[in-house]
Amino acid sequence: MRAALIFPPQWDPRHPPLAPAVLAGALRSAGAETRIFDLNIALYRRLLMPTGPHGIEDFLLSRLLNPHSLCNAESYLQTCQQAQKIFDERFDRHGTGRLFWDTCGGLPSAVTSRGWQDSVHSPEKLIFLRHLESEIAEIRQWTPDLISISAISDTQLAATLALAALFRRALPDSRIILGGAAITYRRSILPAQAWLRSTIDAVCLGDGEPLMTALASGVAPNETPNSLSWNEAGAALFGTAILQDMSFLQPPDFSKFPLKEYLTPHLVIPVETARGCPWGRCAFCIHPVRAVTGRPLYRPRPMNLVAAEIAQHFIAGHRRFLIVDEALPPPRLRELADIFADLPEPVSWIGYSRLDAGHDREGFIRARASGCRKLFIGVESGSDRILTRFHKGVDAARARRVLLDAAAAGLAVHSFLMTGFPDEDESDRQATLDLLADAWPAFEPFGVSFDLFPLTGELETDLMANPPAFGWKGPQRDARNDLAWQFPLSHGPAAAESLAEFKSRIHKLADRVLGPAFGLRHASLAQDSLHLLLLEARTRKS
Ligand code: SF4
């Protein structure tokens, strides 16, 4: 079997995506001939190609890819902004689409079935696909038996659907499967979208490996595990739900990725040590995978397999890693630190964590000594009332203690913060500001960063299952959001103004306690690898 694994635009062009690498590992072990088509990085690269002999593109690219450029973070980010101007000029010259480093705008709606149908019925309207004509032609000429398109973000959905439609027309005998978080988050609402059956053979609703392995061994798409498909009458067909046994997980295969193409001075390799969240109870979070009992399901990989995978990456020359797990529990953070510390040369890494009681200064010191630079943590709020109501499993006192321990260990922390909770009042917001005011002065100012999100109701969460229990009326669902997986609790100018006002107060607090000098909080970075590279370069400089 020939399998084309496609990663469509738009996603962060600075590091290779894990999802197609995981599928490539599974398909390779099942004996399939597999090729990776990262159309996202192909698009960014195409847009940055020089149009004449004295274009600025070569200069910008050399700055973007030069490790020494990282030593001046502000200057490096200015280079990114200059490249942004080129994206603006070239991405969708006559359309409404906008391409950024971290997102994409102006495309058919990702949250309405009408938007999905627009992408399928008029793929040529996605003007930016013209930049990918040669890659699309290459896939067609290869005539794969299987085309798998991974959409891990809503920003990829328009291209995912348009590409599926193009390949359905050009390669009617190829099987087309869609997967990734942007698909699985919608697992409860996709069965009603039977019209998709004319364009795709199935979508993957869970772990991709069992589905891919079954396809490679000749099982029909509608009989593969974890699949959703539709029969001719439009009835939804569900494959058997199978959880991938983490003890038998094949290592992800990056060998066929265009690793020299990513727009970064150093590759940061994603590593998955577990699936699901060890806590899994936050009332607003769609991330937890639930067992049949309804309880959260945390599936760690045996650490010897994690160590073997990291060792393979090290042998391949990689020295920087992003641990993609939802949250590293304290024992796993320590074990992982030991794995990195045992490598023959120093490495750097970042990951996600919770404010678990078991995290302490000693564990963080061990992580920092092994090369951990920064942890991304869902702090959400400093209000105990809100933390309790939304089952965060943390109170502000513990949050303070854990953040101060991380600071004492020399780690940087990115805080995910939330606002817009029903009946949130000034005392709740002040509690968040007080928490940050106590914790931030203990950190090295450059590495401190945060995001402030408005609370949304997400499918399959406690908040969506029983909105009144959380003081919410629930979402209004109609044709304007029939394929949305998250719903704002408050709308309109007043909500936007309230969000902006709180964000401004947090920035003012940061300026007061951290000083006015440039830091990562000014860089508006998503939780991406650039945090790691800029922190590492700064440490080297000092
Ligand atoms: S918000 Fe974080 S800690 Fe809470 S369930 Fe989601 S992933 Fe887990």
Give 336-383 as a DSSP string: HHHHHHTSSS--EEEEEE---TT--HHHHHHHHHTTEEEEEEEEE-S-
Atom 6 (ligand 1) nearest CA = 285
**Ligand 1 centroid from CA 292, angstroms:** 19
Q: At what angle do helices 157-170 and 113-121 cross, to 10 degrees?
A: 40
Question: Does residue 244 have a cis bond before it (omega within 30 degrees)?
Answer: no
**Ligand 1 centroid from CA 542, angstroms:** 35
**Structural tokens at position 318:** 């990689």
Phi-psi region of 290 (alpha: psi -120 to 50; beta: other; left: phi over 0): beta
Residues 196 and 293 in one domain: no
Residues 287 and 215 in one domain: no
Q: In angstroms, rounded to a whole number, what is the distance separating the alpha carbons of residues 344 and 536?
A: 19
pLDDT of 289 above 80: no
Residues 251-266: tens digit of each pLDDT: 999 999 999 999 999 9
- DSSP label at residue 525: -
Residues 58 and 178 in one domain: yes
Which of 238, 254, 286 represents a domain boundary (last residue)? 238
Cβ contact 264:285 at 8 Å? no
Residues 413 and 486 in one domain: yes
Residue 245: burial class (beta carbons within 10 Å; 0-12, 13-18, 19+) = exposed
Name which of 352, 347, 299, 296 is nearest 324 in CA terms: 352
Residues 340 and 439 in one domain: yes
Pocket test for ligand 1, best of 185, 275, 277, 388 (most atoms within 8 A of CB): 277
Q: Is residue 31 part of a domain?
A: yes
Give 101-163 as a DSSP string: SS-EESSSPSSSHHHHHHHHH-GGG-GGGGGGHHHHHHHHHH--SEEEEE--SGGGHHHHHHH
- DSSP label at residue 456: E
**Ligand 1 centroid from CA 279, angstroms:** 6
pLDDT of 180 above 90: yes
pLDDT of 527 above 90: no
pLDDT of residue 247: 95
Q: Is residue 180 part of a domain?
A: yes
Residues 168 and 58 in one domain: yes
Q: In angstroms, rounded to a whole number, what is the distance separating the alpha carbons of residues 47 and 109?
A: 23
pLDDT of 52 above 90: no
**Ligand 1 centroid from CA 282, angstroms:** 6
Atom 5 (ligand 1) nearest CA = 280
Residues 223 and 275 in one domain: no
Task: Please give the average per-residue pLDDT across 286-295, as a whole number.
Answer: 69
Q: Is residue 325 part of a domain?
A: yes
Sorted by sequence, the CB contacts under 8 Å of residue 258 that are 6+ apart come out as: 36, 38, 41, 42
Q: Which long-range contacts (CB under 8 A, 24 or more apart) does 219-228 make?
A: 221/175, 221/177, 227/177, 227/202, 227/203, 228/187, 228/190, 228/191, 228/202, 228/203, 228/204
Q: In angstroms, rounded to a whole number, what is the distance separating the alpha carbons of residues 268 and 341?
A: 17
Q: Is residue 450 part of a domain?
A: yes
Residues 332 and 470 in one domain: yes
Residues 459-516: tens digit of each pLDDT: 999 999 999 999 999 999 999 999 999 999 998 999 999 999 999 999 999 999 999 9
pLDDT of residue 295: 66
**Structural tokens at position 360:** 């302490």
Name which of 127, 145, 275 is nearest 201 in CA terms: 145
**Ligand 1 centroid from CA 104, angstroms:** 26
pLDDT of 20 above 80: yes
pLDDT of residue 465: 94
Residues 291-303: tens digit of each pLDDT: 656 667 899 999 9
The 3-class SS string of 476-523 reads: CCCCCCCCCCEEECCCHHHHHHHHHHHHHHHHHHHHHHHCCCCCHHHC
Cβ contact 226:26 at 8 Å? no
**Ligand 1 centroid from CA 392, angstroms:** 8
Instruction: Ligand 1, residue 281: give the atom nearest the CA.
Output: 5
Q: Hunting for tokens 């699949």 — which residue is that? A: 227
Pocket test for ligand 1, best of 282, 323, 451 (most atoms within 8 A of CB): 282
Q: What amino acid occupies position 455?
A: L
pLDDT of residue 524: 80
Q: State percent of the chain over pLDDT 70.
A: 98
Residues 174 and 134 in one domain: yes
Pocket test for ligand 1, best of 185, 275, 279 (most atoms within 8 A of CB): 279
Q: Is residue 245 part of a domain?
A: no
pLDDT of residue 294: 62
Instruction: Ligand 1, residue 380: give the atom nearest the CA.
Output: 1
Task: Please give the average per-residue pLDDT across 366-384, as a whole number.
Answer: 98
Residues 206 and 313 in one domain: no
Task: Please give the average per-residue pLDDT across 410-434, as a whole number.
Answer: 97
**Structural tokens at position 300:** 């760690």
Q: State percent of the chain over pLDDT 90.
A: 92
Q: Is residue 254 part of a domain?
A: no
Residues 206 and 273 in one domain: no
Instruction: Ligand 1, residue 280: give the atom nearest the CA.
Output: 5
Buried b (16+ CB within 10 A) or exposed e, 103-117: ebeebbbbbbbebbb
Counting the structural domains of the chain, the total is 2
Cβ contact 412:439 at 8 Å? no
Residue 540: burial class (beta carbons within 10 Å; 0-12, 13-18, 19+) = exposed
Residues 408 and 453 in one domain: yes
Print the domain residue range for 314: 266-536
Cβ contact 228:191 at 8 Å? yes
pLDDT of 409 above 70: yes
Q: In angstroms, rounded to a whole number, what is the distance separating the alpha carbons of residues 211 and 132?
A: 28
Residues 424-435: tens digit of each pLDDT: 999 999 999 999
Q: Hunting for tokens 């490790």 — which residue is that? A: 67
Task: Look up the CATH number of the domain holding residue 495.
Answer: 3.80.30.20
pLDDT of residue 455: 97
Atom 4 (ligand 1) nearest CA = 282
Asked if the ipTM is above 0.95, the reply is yes
pLDDT of 271 above 90: yes
**Ligand 1 centroid from CA 400, angstroms:** 18
**Ligand 1 centroid from CA 376, angstroms:** 12
Q: How far is CA 432 from CA 145, 419, 424, 512, in A?
A: 53, 10, 11, 16
Pocket test for ligand 1, best of 286, 354, 461 (most atoms within 8 A of CB): 354
Ligand 1 neighbours, Cβ below 6 Å, are 277, 279-280, 282, 285, 287-288, 326-327, 354, 378
pLDDT of 334 above 70: yes
Q: Is residue 252 part of a domain?
A: no
pLDDT of residue 70: 96
pLDDT of residue 542: 67
Pocket test for ligand 1, best of 285, 355, 463 (most atoms within 8 A of CB): 285
**Ligand 1 centroid from CA 378, angstroms:** 7
Q: Is residue 253 part of a domain?
A: no
pLDDT of 417 above 90: yes
- The average confidence (pLDDT) of the chain is 95
Backbone phi, then psi, for 6, in 5-degree steps?
Answer: -110, 135
pLDDT of residue 291: 64
Q: How far is CA 474 from CA 243, 287, 391, 489, 493, in A?
A: 31, 20, 18, 8, 20
